[in-house]
Amino acid sequence: MPVILSIAVSQWASAAEPARTVKIGILNDASGPYSDNAGGGSVIAAHMAAEDFMKKHADIRVEIVSADHQNKADVGAAIARRWIDQEKVDAVADVPNSAVGLAVNEVLRGSKAALIASSAASSDLTGKDCSPNTIQWTFDTWASSHTIAQYFVKRGSLKWFFIATDNALGKSMVRDGTSVVNTGGGSVVGSVYVPINTADFASFILQAANSDADVVAFATAGGDTVGLMKQSSEFGLKESGKAITALLATTNDIESTGLGVTAGMVITQPFYWDLNDASRSWAVRFTEREHGHSPTAFHAGVYSSVMAYLDAARDAGSNDATKVVAQLKQHPIDDPLFGPVTIRADGRAVHNMYILKAKDPKDSKSKWDLLDQAGVLTGDQAFRPIDQGGCKFVKAAGN
């Protein structure tokens, strides 16, 4: 059974017992390939959101609990069910690993609890598997694939090869990336699927190297992405003249791999700690609590989505997910980390997606000075149009 950590953040509550408690469960990978990008850092980010919210609203107490889903859909679903049935959890947040996110999505469908999918990336969460109980905050496979593919296709890199994780995440990225490449006049010349937590990528890299692809795209995440980037360098994939991109790479992945390997690599993220004064200020606070580590977009997504959900729960005057999610969709959000955010009818949070390029080592001034901004897509450019996702209740509503 997973170990569950339960910590109540209440030092800013009033002396009298508050009228309401909102309980948020952070469900993620605490020890596997996605733990560096989410893990304990996501729990810290959730506590930061709870603390900041309660400083302003002492009449509402926020409680944060957390658990490790072990990258197993059945484990994640069981935890979510126990949380809402027995422990009165109002919303489940974070959930890196799309298979787990999709399973939890079904557990919460029709309940009074919400899924705040800030790290589950499958675009199906706001497409064919959309739910009135779910919002998807940080990114998704369509936006990540679309942003990167558009960048390369516009520059004439039309032939693509995907190395993808053999799970819901990888398959969604290949599907969504292929659509964008084909629309831009390009083609996918090959794709291979690798098991999660693979140690030896040699045969897959050699298949990509021997193809006539212009771009080799890693449709992976976390430790798998780091392993691919390091081993691709050992096999001289970049030196063969192929561009390399990692569709869900984070600052942790770039730092773990090293700028000596990743210099010039193009990635996309909705958040980077050094984008502006607000991101830098928040990153300093996070880094002080996370033993010197810089926040990833996963961590920033947990903070911003939990904060937005708490604000909506207060404004709705209810803990009922259907009412809180409906409240979220009513008005644009001016978020300090993601900028202007709109929650669409399908639950998709729409905001900027940035194109970022890994620095040359000589240009980096510090450990976490890793990326330069190379472009930006606004939300309406970056995310799938609402009428193309297949969300049934959006179609029924005529949106």
Predicted TM-score of the model (pTM): 0.91
**Residue 34 shares a structural domain with residue 61:** yes
Asked if 244 and 358 sit in the same domain, the reply is yes
Inside any domain, residue 387:
no
pLDDT of residue 17: 54
| pLDDT exceeds cutoff 50 at 7 | no
> Is the same domain home to 43 and 109?
yes
Q: Is the pLDDT of residue 395 over 70?
A: no
Q: Is 50 a domain residue?
A: yes
* 126: pLDDT strictly greater than 80: yes
Per the listing, tokens 């980077």 go with: 272
- Upper half-sphere CA count for residue 104 (Cβ side, 13 Å): 36
Q: What is the pLDDT of residue 393?
A: 86
The pLDDT assigned to 283 comes to 98
**Ramachandran area for residue 398 (φ above 0: left; ψ -120 to 50: alpha; else beta):** left
For 328, which DSSP code?
H
How confident is the model over 169-220, as pLDDT tens digits?
899 999 999 998 999 899 999 999 999 989 999 999 999 999 999 999 999 9
Distance CA 202, CA 237 (A): 11
174 and 268, same structural domain?
yes
* CA pair distance 110, 351, nearest whole angstrom: 27
Percent of the chain with pLDDT over 90: 87
Count of the separate structural domains present in the chain: 2
* Same domain, residue pair 132 and 180: no
- Please report whether residue 68 resides in a domain: yes
Q: Is residue 48 included in any domain, yes or no? A: yes
Q: Measure CA of the first residue to CA of the last residue in the chain; give whole Å.
A: 42
Q: Indicate whether 362 and 229 sit together in one domain.
A: yes
Closest CA to 297 of 284, 283, 309: 283
* Residues forming beta bridges with residue 194, ordered by sequence position: 165
CATH at residue 229: 3.40.50.2300
Tell me whether residue 388 is in a domain: no
Q: What is the pLDDT of residues 37-57, one digit of tens each?
A: 999 999 999 999 999 999 999
Please indicate, yes or no, whether residues 289 and 160 belong to a single structural domain of this protein: no
**Rounded mean pLDDT of 81-85?**
98
Residue 390, domain member (yes or no):
no
Whether the CB-CB separation of 354 and 138 falls below 8 Å is answered with: no
Radius of gyration for the alpha carbons in the chain, expressed in angstroms and rounded: 20
Same domain, residue pair 190 and 314 = no
Checking if the pLDDT of 373 tops 80, the result is yes
- State mean pLDDT over 138-166: 94
What is the pLDDT, as a whole number, of residue 238? 85
Are 115 and 195 contained in the same domain? no
Residue 93 lies in a domain: yes
Q: Based on the domain organization, do 179 and 257 belong to the same domain?
A: yes
Q: Which of 125-134, 233-242, 243-252, 326-335 has the lowest mean pLDDT?
A: 233-242
Q: Are residues 174 and 30 in the same domain?
A: no
Judge whether 346 lies within some domain: yes
Q: Which domain holds residue 369?
A: 142-274+353-382
Q: DSSP 3-state assignment of 9? A: strand
Confidence category of residue 163, pLDDT binned at 50, 70, 90? very high
Tell me: do 149 and 226 sit in the same domain: yes
